[in-house]
Amino acid sequence: MQALFFDNMDYLIEVLDKEFLKLQESRLETSLRHAYEGTDMRKGVSLELMENEGYDGIELKHLPVDAQSWEEIEHVRIRINDRAYLYVRARGKFGTRYSDAKIDIQIVPEYTT
């Protein structure tokens, strides 16, 4: 899995097909990279298949939840429910807006960067 961050609080999660299938058994984890600069942002990202409160079946949470700034965020947790999982499988991609952030999840044949 590869997680890219865009300056306007948008996330692109790229997952290889064989990795996406593993999501049914366990969560996927990686580090967050800046989309344009390619630099490691020193924040972890996890993607997991789990029921959630998110609109369109996708929930994004910055951890710790009491973080007051971007610098205090240590981890970005993304949960998708079964419906969102099936959308990604059927369409190859699926996304939504979650508060101020946009999240796109794509199945890719290989990583772009």
Tens of pLDDT, residue by residue over 25-79, are 999 999 999 999 999 999 999 999 999 988 799 999 999 999 999 899 999 999 9
More confident position, 112 or 97: 97
Q: Which residues constitute the domain of residue 102?
A: 2-108
CATH code where residue 104 lies: 3.30.1360
pTM of the shown model: 0.92
For residue 42, being part of any structural domain is answered with yes
For residue 24, being part of any structural domain is answered with yes
Q: What is the full DSSP assignment across 35-80?
A: TTT--EEEEEEEEEE---S-GGGEEEEEESTT--SGGG--EEEEEE
Tokens 């610098």 label which residue?
71
For residue 113, being part of any structural domain is answered with no
For residue 15, being part of any structural domain is answered with yes
Instruction: Tell me what percent of the residues of the chain surpass a pLDDT of 90.
Output: 84
Question: Total domain count for the chain?
Answer: 1
For residue 40, being part of any structural domain is answered with yes
For residue 37, being part of any structural domain is answered with yes
